[in-house]
Chain A
Amino acid sequence: GESVGLHLPTLSVQEGDNSIINCAYSNSASDYFIWYKQESGKGPQFIIDIRSNMDKRQGQRVTVLLNKTVKHLSLQIAATQPGDSAVYFCADNPSSGTYKYIFGTGTRLKVLA
């Protein structure tokens, strides 16, 4: 796989602690939001999604929160593990029906042993 040496904001978290990764979006018409995880040398992988008519959605160890008032999205990872170390991207679909997703610049999560 491929990766790039991204100069990204970095979040360092102790193993076992909870992580919170934040994302701001700009288009108030966006109707769909997705979080992806990109491990070194690989393409992004889908983690969880949320529709604009929801404010919270839970998955396995992950929770996404959506605050449409301030156009903010967060990804919470419970009991962070070494395997969670990666770059995390949010993406949104600003034009309903076109499926042209716009990605954020990403946050690097480092899990400290």
Chain B
Amino acid sequence: DAGITQSPRHKVTETGTPVTLRCHQTENHRYMYWYRQDPGHGLRLIHYSYGVKDTDKGEVSDGYSVSRSKTEDFLLTLESATSSQTSVYFCATLADSTLNEQFFGPGTRLTVL
């Protein structure tokens, strides 16, 4: 699992509140990703990072921001949570040696009321 942890694992929040999800890895992988998983959509890329302070948008980046100040941490922030952001969020890293295999964290279930 490449030593990926996500926190919190579960969160319930109210519409309009800011939320930050944290991803921490122990393998020093360069690339890190945030996905959301919803019924009928599979995994959709929100943002990804290709190094410290280097990030780029994915398919569904609206309403989300990210920061990567250290190699091991990648934060996902919902500036003002909406009910459409209720989802399961997965963090992933990419193996540096092959640049093909992604390792995923256990996921965070976020509910926005």
Contacts and interface: CB of A to CB of B under 8 A. Distances in A.
Interface in B66-103: 87-88, 90, 92, 94, 99-103
For chain A, the bracket of interface size reads 20 to 34
Size category, B interface: 35 or more
Contacts of A43: 1, 4, 90, 92, 104-107
A99 B40 CA distance: 24
A18 B109 CA distance: 34
B108 A2 contact: yes
Contacts of A105: 40-42
B104 A45 contact: yes
Main secondary structure of the interface of B (DSSP, over half): strand
Nearest to A93: B100
B100 A34 contact: yes
Given A3-B88, A43-B104, A46-B101, A103 B43 contact: yes
B38 interface: yes
A44 B2 CA distance: 13
16 contacts: A2-B88, A2-B109, A3-B107, A4-B38, A6-B39, A6-B42, A36-B102, A44-B102, A44-B104, A45-B104, A89-B42, A99-B94, A101-B45, A102-B45, A102-B59, A103-B44
Interface of A: 1-8, 32, 34, 36, 42-46, 49, 89, 91, 93, 98-106
